[in-house]
């Protein structure tokens, strides 16, 4: 084909492809603008748009993924709600997205990322914290203890590689019947004393569990038969994974040797006899072919071993997953019954009397100004659901620990007929659903533990609160 014709074809291909990329980029910027126009009340949408374009140039150039758009929308929703600046918002979007791409589950990143408001957090720290939350959520460790544990992992900058070991150590201690408060406390004291560098994570956990076990030997619960079987499966899985790596390494080695032999044989055939007699050449080629056949046989052998190991691994994974699901169902059923009992007690108490508004206002005032802290439940720091639980405790009523669980207590009421003491719930999450709770006071004012301001009062009529309002519940 003439050079001129080829040049024309390439030119037309270029001008055909360029608009596609341009259109994709234009569509993405339009999506970003749509999110910001919809979600920004406090945040300056134009400023944030320019910062996002500067912060995500390669992603916009390639085309924004649905996950990034979802994270962008969820983070903006939250930071707008909490009054966080535009520059910090973009920093958080990047952190959450990078931790998600590293493999952290979005549901748990959603729970923890607001610690970045007041702290410098690395992608690895956020990744480790989100994965720890997931492991704890699948365990019997009470939430008030594991949230403090995870928060401290960020605040005290624990070695990220040690966080999974420390997490599983705490879960193991609680599974064995030890007091949930003592195990994490013992681990954290050792961490503060620099024992991690001296002992390593595994030994630190063993020593902490041993210490608590010596304090309360009567509580120690040996492994059940089901737990022993599950532990054996996990050991078997680890051994199979180790064998798989060995086989993969051996197979890769034989493939390399075979490739070199093929190149050598090709060279022999291309260069001719080089002074060798014909019988010698034939023997040499025959020997090389035999070597190649042997290599291929070993490679096939390793491939079969890989298939067998993968099949065995699948069996172990299925059994482990089945046990995990069964335990999760039992845990969920137990928690459902606990919440149901709380709801029935609240209904009985609500029918029997009115809320004491003087006590309500007094309890709220005591907490005004206390800083927000993820998982916090004290005057040093408190989160939204711990705040509402403490206020209601003054009314003689115990609420569940989380905002989502508190939404199951009481009866739904219209937000136009709110009364003092009503619980009001908001959605400001990435993944959607109730993620924040406050207590209505009067005259459109509600009290809540704001992530940026601590315990404060706000107006439910302000646009950035009213558009996040999901429901309101009345107990008394």
Q: What residues are labeled active site?
A: 384, 436, 448
Give dist(CA 218, CA 300) in Å, integer: 56
Single out the residue of 162, 138, 167 nearest to residue 150, CA to CA: 167
Looking only at the bridges linking them, the beta strands covering 469-474 and 454-459 are unpaired
Residues facing residue 469 across a β-bridge: 426
> Do residues 86 and 44 lie in contact, with contact meaning Cβ atoms separated by under 8 Å?
yes
Place of tokens 């535009």: 86
Edge to edge, the sheet with strand 411-413 lists 411-413, 469-474, 423-426, 436-442, 445-450, 454-459
Q: What is the token pair recorded at 313?
A: 């691994």
Percent helix / strand / coil, the chain, rounded to 5: 70, 10, 25
> Do residues 247 and 313 lie in contact, with contact meaning Cβ atoms separated by under 8 Å?
no
Torsions phi, psi of 436, nearest 5?
A: -150, 145
Q: What is the token pair recorded at 127?
A: 């990744």
Taking only Cα atoms into account, the Rg of the chain, rounded to an integer number of angstroms, comes to 31
Q: Which CA distances in Å does 92 have to 81, 88, 89, 103, 115?
A: 14, 6, 5, 17, 10
Give dist(CA 23, CA 372) in Å, integer: 44
Give dist(CA 80, CA 39) in Å, integer: 7
| In 353-433, alpha helices (H) | 357-367, 384-393, 403-406
Give dist(CA 243, CA 254) in Å, integer: 17
Q: What single DSSP character describes residue 273?
A: -
Place of tokens 């008394």: 476
Give dist(CA 455, CA 429) in Å, integer: 19
Give dist(CA 51, CA 32) in Å, integer: 11
């Amino acid at each position: 084909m003439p050079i001129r014709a080829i040049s024309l074809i390439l030119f037309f291909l270029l001008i055909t492809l360029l608009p596609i990329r341009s259109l994709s980029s234009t569509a993405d910027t339009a999506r970003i603008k749509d999110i910001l126009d919809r979600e920004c009340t406090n945040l300056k949408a134009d400023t944030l748009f320019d910062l996002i374009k500067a912060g995500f140039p390669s992603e916009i150039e390639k085309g924004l993924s649905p996950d990034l758009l979802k994270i962008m929308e969820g983070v903006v929703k939250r930071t707008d709600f909490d009054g966080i600046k535009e520059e910090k918002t973009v920093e958080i979007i990047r952190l959450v997205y990078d931790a998600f791409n590293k493999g952290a589950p979005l549901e748990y990143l959603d729970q923890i990322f607001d610690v970045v408001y007041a702290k410098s957090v690395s992608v690895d720290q956020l990744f480790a914290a989100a994965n720890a939350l997931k492991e704890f959520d699948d365990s019997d460790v009470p939430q008030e203890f594991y949230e403090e544990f995870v928060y401290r992992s960020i605040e005290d900058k624990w070695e990220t590689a040690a966080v999974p070991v420390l997490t599983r150590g705490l879960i193991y201690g609680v599974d064995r019947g030890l007091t949930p408060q003592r195990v994490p406390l013992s681990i954290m004291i050792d961490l503060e004393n620099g024992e991690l560098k001296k002992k390593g994570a595994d030994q630190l956990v063993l020593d902490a569990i041993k210490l608590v076990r010596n304090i309360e030997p009567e509580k120690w619960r040996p492994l059940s038969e089901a737990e022993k079987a599950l532990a054996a499966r996990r050991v078997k899985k680890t051994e199979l994974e180790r064998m798989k790596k060995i086989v993969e390494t051996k197979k890769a080695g034989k493939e390399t040797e075979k490739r070199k032999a093929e190149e050598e044989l090709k060279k022999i055939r291309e260069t001719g006899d080089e002074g060798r007699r014909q019988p010698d050449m034939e023997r040499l080629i025959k020997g090389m072919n035999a070597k190649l056949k042997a290599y291929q046989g070993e490679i096939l052998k390793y491939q079969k071993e890989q298939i067998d190991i993968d099949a065995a691994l699948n069996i172990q994974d299925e059994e482990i997953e089945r046990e995990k699901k069964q335990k999760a169902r039992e845990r969920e059923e137990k928690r459902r019954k606990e919440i149901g009992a709380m709801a029935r007690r609240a209904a009985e108490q609500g029918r029997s009397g009115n809320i004491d508004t003087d006590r309500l206002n007094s309890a709220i005032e005591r907490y005004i100004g206390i800083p927000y802290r993820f998982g916090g439940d004290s005057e040093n720091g408190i989160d939204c659901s711990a705040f509402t639980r403490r206020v209601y405790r003054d009314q003689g009523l115990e609420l569940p620990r989380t905002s989502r669980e508190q939404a199951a207590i009481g009866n739904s009421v219209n937000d136009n007929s709110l009364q003092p003491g009503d619980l009001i719930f908001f959605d400001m999450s990435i993944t959607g659903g109730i993620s924040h709770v406050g207590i209505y006071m009067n005259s459109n004012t509600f009290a809540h533990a704001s992530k940026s301001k601590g315990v404060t009062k706000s107006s439910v009529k302000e646009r950035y609160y009213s558009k996040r309002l999901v429901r309101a519940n009345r107990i008394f």
